[in-house]
Structure 1
């Protein structure tokens, strides 16, 4: 027993010794690593934005005809990156009235003006939300030692909102020209001078696209097994093709699809997801179904500092798909008016205006709309969009009156009822809900109203679903269960009575 105790004590001492030595070695290594971080730019600078792309305005360099030393592409890219980062940290500083990051991107001379401006705004309780959307820089001079660069940044498109005492006092769109001097210090480019040479109001003239060719009679579509995850790992073109045939044979000619902003990779669009979307469009084209694509589903930030990321998202998708024969229209955003209360109507409307203009600048052929959640909001931005889209889940007895009011307010625009339907759920969480017979009567009445008012439509939705993500309607069981039963086809694949009225017989 004594020997056993000695063995145990010896073992404990050896293990403790090893553990202590390991901790000492780890501590020395950590200290050594810390002392050698001086050359690591990402640790000594406020450059979280280096790791996560937060600012991607469109940049188009003028042809290189600069004086001084010729510049290589790597050096030019370094100048561009640090120059844009300087813009970004200044915008954050003016929004928050803090100086974080300014020292990293501006020399002593340049940062003094910024600090003075921040102090003034802070004392007056003023904040500025701003971004730049486009830059057209020209390299004027690059020194022989590679330490100084002079650029003229032409036609810089800027958007600003100025708040005083947390109230919006001015909103501007400007186009400006800047003269910029940058110095290479500590391995990166700092702005020494940034002088605005000219500025004027930036007015976007939107071209209107004719919609007299539109004849949308369709349905909002998700596969039954993967609602709100249509382009994920379970993507199946065979399933989609089969469903599209059902839709076509039911007398419909169009579908509405959804591109979820986060799911598709935000600014850096996921190629695999985009390829799956193209395959879906191919399947629609094969049987002559038109497609309305909603670009910003499940997005609700609208922060000015995110605008450039949003624009790169839209730019990639629209550029890749605009020539596909299945595309009939773009829906900028699903139900943005639901964000008015939480995000602010001014912010949402400004974001929509700029996104409409951006998409129209890329695709000059296909019409654009916004999927408002009700008729009351449907007249907003009616001069910017090409046709009016609204969703309707209210009493059908009031739909005719709402339509007449909308036609009187906007007499020359095509109207699309972009979502409508009735859940057939009357289970334990909603014992006095509507039956499948009630659902059928609803769609029969809806189709009568649609025909009476020559309304274009996209109903909700082809299938009942077994699972609903909580992001769609929250976690309350009576809401989730109701959402599962809007389909014309039940969870077992049987057509419900409402299927008879999925379209109006000709």
Structure 2
């Protein structure tokens, strides 16, 4: 009996100790959580979110002002919190929610913002907005290091205003701001953000780019190596095969290749330098053979949302600045067949992104023409006044080609080149094409359309050089009646044999 009582006492003592340990541990965890609550970047996940969705170009025009000298570290902290303040401000206008604003704005600076957000919420309107660049000019840094004053000049803003889900209007403007920020709790908060009158507006002087004579005489091919369909760069990069192919392309009497840079595979805003070096190698090989290269950017991109704009700008900026001086570069193709995204991504969203990307690239490269690879002649009228070359693809019945081309030609300015950027037909003649295709029919197709092209003196790039053993499902889906014919568009088969169509194209 005594043994049972002792065991019971031991159980009670151990239970008491265990319960108290859990209580102490729980209190400690709560205190730890409360203490970390002061880290605003953790609360709002701003370190990750800002990096992922908001990277406007920030260039300090002057970092020497009155008062205390500014160190690079403090300047970096001010810039960090200033960008975060813009980020949460943009987010607030999108959601009509004040969350996060108090962490980067003082109470007095929030009065106007609160009033605007309350009005928008009452009217059931919201604004998608972003800034594309900032040019701060330091004016004053207090002796105690707690206050900074600067002017942010020529801030380019873009916004889309919605009533419920209906777009009311879009707006792009350039504004100057007088900014006062205070250091509180280790973070810089905006005390004043006031628009100021501008002395002069920046104007774009690069709307027109002189086209090199090569553009009007393009005889080209959309190019992927035989063993790297839609996946040319990275681990699949085969410099020997590419060099051999470019020699073959030259021997065919062609003078241009179109290559593709997939956005995500190249690292989005963190461009993969190894893959970028491989692109330069392709340009080097092309230069050796007097072949021009058209670079298609943003392959497999499909977001277009304003919140993603600045990341795509940083992606393009790195690539354009790395390649723009290469002698083999023919021009920039912003996006392949963006009109196919009109239905699910909204036309206004797609065209707004394209138009701004054109403007951005013209800031970095004033020498090379810009185009967009529209999926049809009808779609090519979009932004035709903004591009330097109007490009369209054609995979429809040949009987309608001349009519559709001439309709486009009537709309496009007479001095602006029109480029047949993709066209072709499959030689596949199996079940999934009703046993209707053949190499002979493919050759006949090219014989006919090359006649139209020669007659109209139309620059062209056919699809494509090789047949492929595999086509990624991400390109045309998994349906066999779509995927299988796509494997047989080349003029050279998978064994390296020249098909009948080769002789129609090598003229």
Q: TM-score, normalising length from structure 2?
A: 0.91
Which position in structure 2 is the counterpart of 1:137? 136
1:210 aligned onto 2:210: yes
Aligned residue in 1 for 2:274: 272
Q: Tell me if the contact between 1:172 and 1:201 (Cα under 8 Å) persists in the aligned partners.
A: no
Partner of 1:467: 470
Deviation string for 1:379-405 (max 9, x for gaps)?
Answer: 222221111110000111111111222
Whole-Å separation in 2 of the counterparts to 1:225 and 1:387: 31
- 1:317-347 superposed Cα distances (whole Å, 9 cap, x missing partner): 1111000011011111111111111111111
Q: Retained in 2: the 8 A contact 1:42–1:50?
A: no
In 2, the alpha carbon distance for the partners of 1:115 and 1:246 equals 65
Q: Distance in 2 between matches of 1:448 and 1:331?
A: 26
1:45·1:104 contact (CA, 8 Å) conserved in 2?
no
1:336 to 335, 338, 342: 338
Matched, 1:446 2:452: no
Please say if residues 64 and 70 of structure 2, whose CA atoms lie closer than 8 Å, have aligned partners that are also in contact: no
Q: Does 1:435 align with 2:434?
A: no
Query: Counterparts in 2 of 1:387-466, with a 5 A limit?
Result: 387-410=389-412, 411-466=414-469
Q: What is the rounded CA distance, in whole Å, between the counterparts of 2:435 and 2:102 in structure 1?
A: 64
Of residues 375-384 and 106-115 in structure 1, the stretch that sits farther from structure 2 once superposed is 106-115
Root mean square deviation, CA, Å: 2.3
Q: Is the 8 A contact 2:371 2:388 kept in 1?
A: yes
Q: SS state of the match for residue 360, structure 1?
A: helix
Contact in 2 for aligned 1:208/1:386 (Cα 8 Å): yes
Partner of 2:86: 87
Q: Secondary structure at the match of 2:431?
A: coil
TM-score by length of 1: 0.91
CA change 1:386–1:446 in 2 (3 A) is same
Other structure's SS at 1:265 match: coil
Does 1:183 find its partner at 2:193? no
Cα distance, 1:37 vs structure 2? 2.7
Is the partner of 2:195 in helix, strand or coil? strand
Task: Report the CA distance between 1:370 and its aligned residue.
Answer: 0.9
Give the match for residue 351 of structure 1. Answer: 353
Secondary structure at the aligned position of 2:433 is classed as coil
Q: Deviations over 1:132-186 (max 9, x none)?
A: 1111111111111211111111111111111123222222221111111111122
Q: Distance in 2 between matches of 1:402 and 1:207?
A: 28
CA contact (8 A) 2:62 2:136 kept: no
Secondary structure at the aligned position of 1:233 is classed as coil
Contact 1:149/1:181, CA 8 A, preserved across alignment: yes
Distance 1:97 1:64 in 2: 35
Distance 1:234 1:171 in 2: 42
Of residues 451, 476, 486, the one that matches 1:483 is: 486
Answering whether residue 142 of structure 2 is matched by residue 146 of structure 1, we say no
8 Å CA contact 1:372–1:390 kept in 2: the answer is yes
Gaps of 5+ in 1: 1-16
Are 1:174 and 1:201, in contact at CA under 8 Å, matched by a contact in 2? no
Contact 2:50 2:87 in 1 (8 A): no
| SS of residue matched to 1:195 | strand
Q: 1:24 to 1:451 in 2, by over 3 A?
A: farther
Distance apart, 1:207 and its partner CA: 2.7
- Contact (CA 8 Å) 1:46, 1:104: kept in 2 or not? no
Task: Give the SS at the match of 1:53.
Answer: helix
CA distance in 1, matches of 2:171, 2:204: 12
Task: Indicate conservation of the 8 Å contact 2:492/2:498, yes or no.
Answer: yes
Q: 2:364 aligns with which of 359, 362, 365?
A: 362
Query: Which stretch of the first structure deviates more once superposed, 393-402 or 60-69?
Result: 60-69
Secondary structure in structure 1 of the residue aligned to 2:419: strand
Q: Is the 8 A contact 2:40 2:103 kept in 1?
A: no
Mapping 1:36-115, distance limit 5 Å: 37-38=36-37, 40-47=39-46, 49=48, 52-115=51-114
Cα separation, partners in 2 of 1:181 and 1:246, compared to 1, 3 Å: same
| Structure 1 residues 376 and 59, CA gap change in structure 2 (3 angstroms) | same
Structure 2 distance, partners of 1:501, 1:33, is 75
Secondary structure of the structure 2 residue equivalent to 1:378: helix
Q: State how far apart, in whole Å, the 1-side matches of 2:192 and 2:287 are.
A: 54
On the 8 A contact 2:50/2:84 being kept in 1, the answer is: no
